[in-house]
Chain A
Amino acid sequence: MSEHLISVTDLHVGFSTRRGAVKAVRGISFELVPGATLGVVGESGSGKSVTAYAITRLLDRAGEITSGQVSYFGRNLGSLTEAEMRRLRGSAISMIFQNPRAALNPIRCVGQQIADALNAHGRLTRAEQRERTLQLLRDVMLTDVERIFRSYPHELSGGMCQRIMIALAIACEPKLLIADEATTGLDVTTQKVVMDLLSSLVAERGMGLILITHDLGLAARYCGEIAVMREGQIVEKGAVDTIFGHPRHEYTKRLIAASPTADSTIEDLVPEGEAERFAAPAPMKVSGAPLLLEVRNLSKNFSGFAAVSDVSFTLAAGESLGLVGESGSGKSTISRIVTRLLDKTAGEISFKGESIGEVPATRFNSHRARRDIQIVFQDPHESLNPRYTAFDSIAHPLRTLEKSLPREELNRRVRECADRVGFPAELLTRFPHQLSGGQKARIGIARAIATRPSLLVLDEPTAALDVSVQAIVLRLLDNLRKEGGLAFLFVSHDLNVVRMLCDRVVVLQAGKVVEAGRAADVFMKPTSEYTRTLLQAVPSFSFRARAKVESPVEI
């Protein structure tokens, strides 16, 4: 009997694809003692999730452990039969997944799902099952457990679903819990509640925890040890202070630099070498600029539900305004209305002194202000027409909004835009599915600036990107604004990003403005309770932030 809860030795995992075998995990080793917490961090494709599935042998059909060994208290999991392995799952090793609502069976009431898990690992009477389930629901700090027992996942909030997921995972008292991006996609405040709960449960029960995340702040806040993964390998591992305080590996350093913190600046995000690729920023000249956009008393109702109510703000030429808030705060709706893709219910929008709010969205496409207001969408994957090449996507607004552009001129303009966003000209003939996320994001931006607009609405332009890519894109955006005199309306849930990029900020909650002002003021001296809560919930790996954690996890 080893004292290691889990030990992974030289694990290799391969996937057979039609293009041949792909090595997703290439010889990683680590071990965990009971009660320890390990954070596995890395960007997408680094193999961190695959590692988790390899441990529980839940890899999908194409995946296979090609060599190496996973031992649970010295017991080689690879030698177990599927039936034996099944008995270990849930009772020895459990997992918590991203997107808790999808991870629960949508047509079975949640209590029953927990009972199913209990039932799979022991003979209990119906009453016992029910009693245990209710107790578990109480354990994950849910109230009104009788009602929740009978509820279906769609009737519960994301945070509640994730707590149920946790209850499900700990139902059979496993010794190891693997949380795979368990809070990604949840609002920051919810994320904090769930993570606090998870870490206290783990601590109480003496379980081991492997926390897989792309968010360095999260790992720093809740883990004792950190392993940084990249391309299927662990590049660096050690105690949390060591890794974040004194990173040795180049990649770790880059990752840390790219992660926005409460005090980082745009320039901090990208290492020196890469920053050179951008033209030197021209000095900003904001003060005294003419008013570009004025939104007064804007409201929007969706069949009775007020998504936006009475929101007003202004934006000067060349200025950058951030709209922040959690999901459902109405920030995306505002961005659509300002871009004139959506009609308002009430209020006024004037752009360059002209009221554009009255022009129906259906007819705005032929309005002369169309080319002046452009938008960059949230998800670069779905904001590009799958049947357009990169060139077509960038040329699209030029073709429609600047008709009779001669062919050479069009070519020139497209190339110029591509160049400005740092998109390689040789990739212009590619289709979206042949491009990386960062490249797609660049095309989205290039398309938006192709008609040389004066207002660019950015709707969470980096939310779907890895931090290192996000860093580059943010830097790019910042440069574009500074050199092009563009005004930004920047919509984001990420407070750190907004703080870095915006001059002023408007904080929204449930469609209403709760606070507005200069970015620095709002973040340093928030006046509303809500802003304070938001700021507090943001995890950060900087040691200052770490010191502020109220209930530090015992390691």
Chain B
Amino acid sequence: MSATVQHVVWTIRANPVTGVAAAGLAVLLVLAVFGPWLQPHDPLASNVSMALLPPSSQYWAGTDQLGRDIFSRLIAATRLDLAIAASAVSLSFLAGTFIGSIAGYMGGRLDRVVGSVVDVLMAFPLFVMAMALVAVLGNRVENIILATAFINLPFYIRFSRAEVNARRGLGWVEAARACGDSHLKIVLCSLVPNILPAMAIQVSLNLGWAILNAAGLSFLGLGITAPTAEWGIMVAEGARFILSGHWWLVAFPGAALMLTVLCFNLLGDGLRDILDPRMRT
């Protein structure tokens, strides 16, 4: 175990960007969990007389059209955005990995069927698909999560299928059968834990992507509905004020969005290094 810790420390030292990303993620988590105690103002309370104020000592990131404190809204949005991303990704991860690894392990007809279903899904223009799903189900948070999870599903299926397929012929899988394990048990207890590291990279990259996806939906009016504080919709609302010079309306939520996605991406890269067996000695 300590070897693992050493390895992580070594990787982070060799690649400080990963460390920074991990720290950034920690900050985000703190904001998400303790957000309500950290907000200087009520993120939903309007005060039209204080609308569109530039950043100041009272309003660190300025105020929006309704005089709401942007900084507080940013913090409030952290929880929602992370929750959307996390639940969407875990959904598709769980379902996709289950389906994909079973198909990849069993091979044969089941694998072909799953393969062609995945082909069908992959052939869809996925963002349009997400839009259609949200439009069908209604733009509530849970539906945005569902839609995001759904369009991610084929990637997880494909990925886990490939990963499991690459391992199904390995000695220890045969050994597990010689040890009397059933196929299902081999998939769930032996193969899935072994592809987890590879999947973790995918998950990390995907988290960032899911946030962008939700933001894109919001931008098109198919995402979270105002007045809920969410980065995507804040950017979409703020975009209306770029021309009038109220840059802070779009700059801060845009930056929050970018930095968060950046964190997840860099972390994904870092995980890749940490989990790459070739990097281990």
Query: Which residues of A are at the interface with B, using a C-beta cutoff of 8 A?
Result: 17-19, 336, 339, 341, 361-362, 365-366, 370-371, 373-375, 377-379, 382-388, 396-397, 400-401, 433-434, 444, 447-448
Shortest B204–chain A CB gap in Å is 20
Contact of B180 among A387, A397, A444 (CB under 8 A): A397
CA distance A371 to B178 in the complex (A): 8
Chain B positions 169-222 with a Cβ under 8 Å from a chain A Cβ? 170-172, 174-183, 185, 190, 193-194
Q: Which residue of B lies closest to A459 (CB)?
A: B171
Is the pair B171, A378 in contact by a Cβ cutoff of 8 Å? yes
Is the pair B170, A365 in contact by a Cβ cutoff of 8 Å? no
Contact of B179 among A336, A361, A396 (CB under 8 A): A396
List B contacts of A447 (CB < 8 A).
Answer: 175, 179
B127 within 8 A of A: no
Is the pair A365, B171 in contact by a Cβ cutoff of 8 Å? no
Is the pair A400, B180 in contact by a Cβ cutoff of 8 Å? yes
List A contacts of B175 (CB < 8 A).
Answer: 375, 377, 383-385, 396, 444, 447
Q: Using known A-B contacts A362-B183, A387-B194, A434-B3, determine if residue A382 contacts B172 with beta carbons closer than 8 Å.
A: yes
In the A-B complex, list the 5 residue pairs whose CB atoms are closest, starting with the nearest. A383-B171, A397-B179, A377-B171, A400-B180, A401-B180
Question: Which one of A339, A362, A387, A447 has the greatest number of beta carbons of chain B within 10 Å?
Answer: A387
30 residue pairs of the A-B complex, CB under 8 angstroms, read: A17-B281, A18-B10, A336-B174, A341-B174, A365-B177, A366-B180, A366-B182, A370-B180, A371-B180, A374-B178, A375-B174, A377-B171, A377-B174, A379-B171, A382-B172, A383-B170, A383-B174, A384-B171, A384-B175, A385-B172, A385-B176, A385-B190, A386-B194, A387-B194, A396-B176, A396-B181, A400-B179, A400-B180, A400-B185, A447-B179
Q: Using known A-B contacts A17-B281, A18-B10, A385-B194, determine if residue A365 contacts B181 with beta carbons closer than 8 Å.
A: yes
CA distance A375 to B178 in the complex (A): 7
Q: Which residue of B lies closest to A457 (CB)?
A: B178
Q: Which residue of B lies closest to A432 (CB)?
A: B172
Is the pair B172, A383 in contact by a Cβ cutoff of 8 Å? yes
List A contacts of B277 (CB < 8 A).
Answer: 433
B109 within 8 A of A: no
List B contacts of A448 (CB < 8 A).
Answer: 178
CA distance A387 to B183 in the complex (A): 18
Query: Which residues of B are at the interface with A, using a C-beta cutoff of 8 A?
Result: 3, 10, 14, 170-172, 174-183, 185, 190, 193-194, 277, 280-281
List A contacts of B181 (CB < 8 A).
Answer: 365, 396, 400
Question: Which one of A375, A378, A379, A385 has the greatest number of beta carbons of chain B within 10 Å?
Answer: A385
Is the pair A341, B176 in contact by a Cβ cutoff of 8 Å? no
CA distance A384 to B171 in the complex (A): 7
List B contacts of A18 (CB < 8 A).
Answer: 10, 14, 281
Q: Which residue of B lies closest to A378 (CB)?
A: B171
CA distance A336 to B171 in the complex (A): 11
CA distance A361 to B176 in the complex (A): 13
Is the pair A397, B178 in contact by a Cβ cutoff of 8 Å? yes
List A contacts of B190 (CB < 8 A).
Answer: 385
List B contacts of A361 (CB < 8 A).
Answer: 177
List A contacts of B177 (CB < 8 A).
Answer: 341, 361, 365
CA distance A434 to B280 in the complex (A): 11
Shortest B192–chain A CB gap in Å is 10
CA distance A382 to B96 in the complex (A): 26
Shortest B14–chain A CB gap in Å is 8
Contact of A433 among B14, B171, B178, B280 (CB under 8 A): B280
Q: Which residue of B lies closest to A375 (CB)?
A: B178
Q: Which residue of A lies closest to B280 (CB)?
A: A433
Shortest B29–chain A CB gap in Å is 27
CA distance A336 to B190 in the complex (A): 20
CA distance A401 to B175 in the complex (A): 13
Shortest B195–chain A CB gap in Å is 11
List B contacts of A17 (CB < 8 A).
Answer: 281
List B contacts of A388 (CB < 8 A).
Answer: 172
CA distance A377 to B177 in the complex (A): 12
Shortest A337–chain B CB gap in Å is 12
Shortest A341–chain B CB gap in Å is 5
List A contacts of B193 (CB < 8 A).
Answer: 387
CA distance A401 to B182 in the complex (A): 11
List A contacts of B176 (CB < 8 A).
Answer: 385, 396
Q: Using known A-B contacts A18-B281, A387-B193, A433-B280, determine if residue A382 contacts B171 with beta carbons closer than 8 Å.
A: yes
CA distance A17 to B181 in the complex (A): 39
Is the pair A384, B172 in contact by a Cβ cutoff of 8 Å? yes
List A contacts of B194 (CB < 8 A).
Answer: 385-387
Shortest A332–chain B CB gap in Å is 11
List B contacts of A365 (CB < 8 A).
Answer: 177, 180-182
List B contacts of A375 (CB < 8 A).
Answer: 174-175, 178
List B contacts of A386 (CB < 8 A).
Answer: 172, 194
List B contacts of A397 (CB < 8 A).
Answer: 178-180
List B contacts of A387 (CB < 8 A).
Answer: 193-194
List A contacts of B178 (CB < 8 A).
Answer: 339, 341, 370, 373-375, 397, 448
Shortest B108–chain A CB gap in Å is 11
Shortest B126–chain A CB gap in Å is 32
List A contacts of B180 (CB < 8 A).
Answer: 365-366, 370-371, 397, 400-401
CA distance A434 to B190 in the complex (A): 19
Is the pair B281, A19 in contact by a Cβ cutoff of 8 Å? yes
Q: Which residue of A lies closest to B281 (CB)?
A: A17
Shortest A373–chain B CB gap in Å is 8
Shortest B168–chain A CB gap in Å is 12
List A contacts of B185 (CB < 8 A).
Answer: 400
CA distance A374 to B175 in the complex (A): 9
Shortest A378–chain B CB gap in Å is 7
Q: Which residue of B lies closest to A370 (CB)?
A: B180
CA distance A388 to B193 in the complex (A): 10
Is the pair B183, A401 in contact by a Cβ cutoff of 8 Å? no
Question: Which one of B14, B177, B179 has the greatest number of beta carbons of chain A within 10 Å?
Answer: B179
Q: Which residue of B lies closest to A19 (CB)?
A: B281
List A contacts of B14 (CB < 8 A).
Answer: 18
Shortest A461–chain B CB gap in Å is 11
List B contacts of A444 (CB < 8 A).
Answer: 175
CA distance A76 to B171 in the complex (A): 48
Is the pair A401, B179 in contact by a Cβ cutoff of 8 Å? yes
List B contacts of A371 (CB < 8 A).
Answer: 180
Known: A375-B174, A388-B172, A397-B179. 15 other contacts (CB 8 A): A17-B281, A341-B174, A366-B180, A371-B180, A374-B178, A382-B172, A383-B175, A385-B172, A385-B176, A386-B172, A387-B194, A396-B179, A397-B180, A400-B185, A433-B277
